């Protein structure tokens, strides 16, 4: 990939994987990019600045001042110079500082000043990787717009086996180079819309359903479920952050709301209302993600007045099936549209999820099981396995819902380039 004229900041922090950063620098230089290495003081214990400055052809920056000359290194200039800002390896400590704005070294200070896309390649022991504080900090970085290059599983510096090995330099290089090339393509196509088009969803119209539905028994009572809307709202927010042209969130009654201004919320109450809101918008959308927990049954004839406890008879309601929104859209789906469903299961997860995907004519289904602690309804976390209609299966660890949303969009982007056309 040609990166001639591109400016890459590579931030290196103090971990064993720092030795791999030499290859990363080399890959960018070979592709024609100008590379500026910034190291935290601890990183110098793991790889020498001389190696990195030789490979990059530029003196490494580590301190705010050069000690002997008193020369001041401007973190603001560096941040603005960058077309991409890559932190690899990113230790738990640097991730925590980035997530909390602790600007006590040149790397984090430059990070806070940059307007470039930031890529973070974590590397640490697997217990540190799955510690709730690291999970939280990574979720914060994602919601701040960083792209996380997930670490791989394998033997770690501690000799323990698990997830925490920094991804290989080739993989990190490819993620960054692909992003730069895509952004360039998009900017060439629509120069007037540069600020909104810095992601793979530029120009795309996204429809997401989220939350529960309420099926009325009478004006004060209803049938519903435990969905909080958190998972679907995270998916809609992430689509907006990735530059989607429009994001419509059809949202059942819940407390949460999107944090991205560009998400257009359509409030609905019942399954039928949700269907009608989706049908109004489906034909124009490129990707629809059905995350709502739609009540499977609704009340055939709800009472128009409050049912009184004093009545002699115990009321009886006949339930009828609610429309299946995902299946309805699946029948209507055009060749170039992508339809993604969720499956919330308690048993026979694989069979049930894949059967739902087929029955509803979905391109992808995201399975979450109530048997996994921290997954499904009402938690801030989820653990999902994603199946595609052509037989791929990708399992993810338990993560913050915001990070799960990023994984889902990454898969959609990788699989379909966001559009089947
Ligand atoms: O909202 P949270 O508290 O964050 O919880 C998230 C979640 C658990 C609700 C979410 O991750 C999830 O699993 N959503 C789907 C829940 C569900 O209804 O699953 P299901 O297996 O019953 O339905 C399968 C698919 O068909 C889903 O895409 C669902 O949106 C859709 N469906 C179901 C019934 C129906 N009448 N119409 C539909 O469109």
Domain around 287 = 191-416
Residues 165 and 195 in one domain: no
By DSSP bridging, strand 319-321 and strand 384-388 are unpaired
Q: 25-31 contacts: CB < 8 A, separation 24 or more?
A: 25/52, 25/55, 25/56, 26/55, 26/169, 27/169, 27/170, 27/173, 28/3, 28/173, 28/176, 29/55, 29/56, 29/57, 31/1, 31/2, 31/3, 31/4, 31/173, 31/177
Q: What pLDDT sits at residue 81?
A: 94
* pLDDT mean over 272-294: 97
pLDDT band at 67 (very low <50, low <70, confident <90, very high): low
225 is catalytic: yes
Find the catalytic residue in 42, 181, 187, 225: 225
383 within some domain: yes
Please give the structure tokens belonging to residue 260. Answer: 């991205």
Residues 246 and 392 in one domain: yes
Model confidence, pTM: 0.74
127 within some domain: yes
Question: Per-residue pLDDT for 38 more than 50?
Answer: yes
The position carrying tokens 């996994």 is 372
Residues 95 and 232 in one domain: no
Question: Per-residue pLDDT for 195 more than 50?
Answer: no
Q: What pLDDT sits at residue 66?
A: 67
- Residues whose CB falls within 8 Å of the CB of residue 81, separated by 6 or more in sequence, listed in order: 7, 9, 36
* CATH number, residue 298: 3.40.50.10300
Of 235, 70, 54, residue with least CA distance to 143: 235
186 within some domain: no
* CATH number, residue 174: 3.40.50.1950
pLDDT (tens digit per residue) in 321-348: 999 999 999 999 999 999 999 999 999 9
Residues 361 and 292 in one domain: yes
* pLDDT mean over 180-185: 75
Is any atom of ligand 1 closer than 6 Å to the C-beta of 230?
yes
* 396/168 Cα distance (integer angstroms): 19
Phi (first) and psi of residue 389, to 5 degrees? -60, -25
421 within some domain: no
215 burial via Cβ count (<10 Å: 0-12, 13-18, 19+): buried
Residues 140 and 261 in one domain: no
Residues 21 and 102 in one domain: yes
Write the DSSP assignment of 117-165 as a string of letters: EEEEEE---HHHHTSHHHHHHHHHHHHTTPEE-PPEEEE-TTS-EEEEE
Question: Per-residue pLDDT for 25 more than 70?
Answer: yes
- Residue 351 CA, ligand 1 centroid: distance in Å: 16
Give the total number of structural domains in the chain: 2
**Residue 419: strand, helix, or coil:** coil
141 within some domain: yes
Q: What pLDDT sits at residue 182?
A: 73
- Residue 373 CA, ligand 1 centroid: distance in Å: 18
2 within some domain: no
Residues 130 and 210 in one domain: no
Residue nearest to atom 16 of ligand 1 (CA): 293
Q: What pLDDT sits at residue 197?
A: 40
* pLDDT mean over 63-85: 79
* 11/120 Cα distance (integer angstroms): 9
Lowest mean pLDDT among 69-78, 188-197, 245-254, 296-305: 188-197
- Residues whose CB falls within 8 Å of the CB of residue 316, separated by 6 or more in sequence, listed in order: none
Q: What pLDDT sits at residue 70?
A: 64
283 within some domain: yes
- Residue 229 CA, ligand 1 centroid: distance in Å: 10
The position carrying tokens 């070979």 is 30
Angle at 273 between CA 272 and CA 276, to 5 degrees: 90
Is any atom of ligand 1 closer than 6 Å to the C-beta of 275?
no
Q: What pLDDT sits at residue 69?
A: 65
* pLDDT mean over 82-97: 97
Q: Which residues pair with 365 in a beta bridge?
A: 341, 387
pLDDT band at 161 (very low <50, low <70, confident <90, very high): confident
For CA atoms 136, 137, 142, 144, give the dihedral sign.
Answer: positive
Is any atom of ligand 1 closer than 6 Å to the C-beta of 294?
yes
């Amino acid at each position: 990939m040609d990166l001639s004229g591109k400016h890459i900041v590579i931030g290196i922090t103090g971990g064993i994987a720092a030795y791999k950063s030499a290859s990363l620098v080399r890959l960018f230089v070979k592709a024609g990019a100008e590379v500026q290495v910034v190291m935290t003081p601890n990183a110098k214990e793991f790889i020498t600045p001389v190696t990195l400055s030789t490979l990059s052809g530029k003196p490494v920056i580590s301190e705010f001042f050069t000690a002997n000359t008193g020369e001041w290194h401007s973190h603001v200039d560096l941040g603005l110079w960058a077309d991409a800002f890559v932190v690899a390896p990113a230790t738990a400590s640097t991730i925590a500082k980035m997530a909390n704005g602790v600007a006590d070294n040149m790397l984090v200070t430059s990070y806070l000043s940059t307007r470039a896309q930031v890529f973070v390649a974590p590397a640490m022991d697997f217990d540190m990787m799955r510690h709730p504080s690291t999970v939280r900090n990574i979720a914060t970085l994602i919601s701040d717009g960083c792209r996380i290059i997930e670490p791989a599983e394998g033997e770690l510096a501690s000799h323990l086996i698990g997830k925490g090995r920094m991804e290989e330099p080739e993989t990190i290089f490819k993620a960054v180079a692909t992003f730069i090339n895509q952004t360039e393509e998009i900017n060439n196509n629509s120069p007037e819309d540069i600020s909104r088009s810095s992601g793979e969803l530029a120009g795309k119209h996204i429809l997401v359903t989220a939350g529960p539905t309420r099926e009325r028994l009478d004006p004060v009572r209803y049938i519903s479920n435990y969905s909080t809307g958190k998972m679907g709202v995270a998916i809609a927010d992430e689509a907006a952050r990735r530059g989607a042209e429009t994001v419509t969130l059809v949202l059942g009654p819940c407390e949460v709301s999107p944090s991205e201004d560009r998400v257009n919320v359509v409030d609905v109450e019942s399954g039928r209302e949700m269907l009608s809101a989706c049908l109004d918008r489906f034909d124009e959308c490129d990707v629809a993600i059905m995350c709502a927990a739609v009540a499977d049954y609704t009340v055939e004839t709800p009472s128009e007045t409050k049912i009184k406890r004093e009545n002699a008879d115990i009321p009886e309601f006949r339930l009828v099936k609610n429309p299946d929104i995902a299946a309805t859209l699946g029948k209507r789906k055009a060749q170039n549209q992508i339809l993604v469903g969720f499956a919330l299961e308690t048993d026979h997860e694989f069979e049930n999820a894949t059967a739902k995907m087929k029955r509803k004519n979905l391109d992808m289904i995201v399975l979450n099981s109530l048997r996994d602690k921290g997954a499904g309804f009402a938690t801030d976390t989820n653990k999902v396995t994603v199946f595609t209609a052509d037989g791929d299966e990708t399992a993810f660890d338990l993560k913050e819902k915001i990070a799960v949303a990023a994984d889902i969009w990454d898969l959609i982007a990788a699989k379909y380039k966001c559009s089947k056309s």
